[in-house]
Amino acid sequence: MCGSRSSWSGSWAELVDYDERHGTDLLPVLHTFLDAAGNKTVAAKRANLSRQAFYQRLHSVERVLGCDLESGEQRTQLHVALTAFRLLRLSRGPAPS
């Protein structure tokens, strides 16, 4: 995957942990961006964020994951990995209370 991460699951854990610690929404922002095929303007509209706010969040995603979201290859890797991550989370069901 991107950066120096050895596995995609470790990277997602870092992003989820970052969101939890900072009260951010980086994982959903990344998902919206990838679903918009890397079109930042479309993704910002779908996320109901200004383009500037959306770009700032994407920069944070790049920093946390060590990725270049301008790279089509890295976006594809991220999209496949994020889809697998979300499916794994869904298959495990809700966390116990």
For 87, the token pair is 């499916």
Asked if the model's pLDDT at residue 95 lies above 60, the reply is no
Indicate the pLDDT class of residue 90, thresholds 50, 70 and 90: confident
Task: Compute the average pLDDT of residues 55-67.
Answer: 95
Contacts of 33 (CB under 8 A, 6+ apart): 40, 43, 54, 58, 61, 69
Q: What per-residue confidence (pLDDT) applies to 1? A: 58
Q: Where are the domains of the chain?
A: 8-89
Return the residue matching tokens 């910002």.
44
The per-residue pLDDT for range 17-60, each reduced to its tens digit, is: 999 999 999 999 999 999 999 999 999 999 999 999 999 999 99
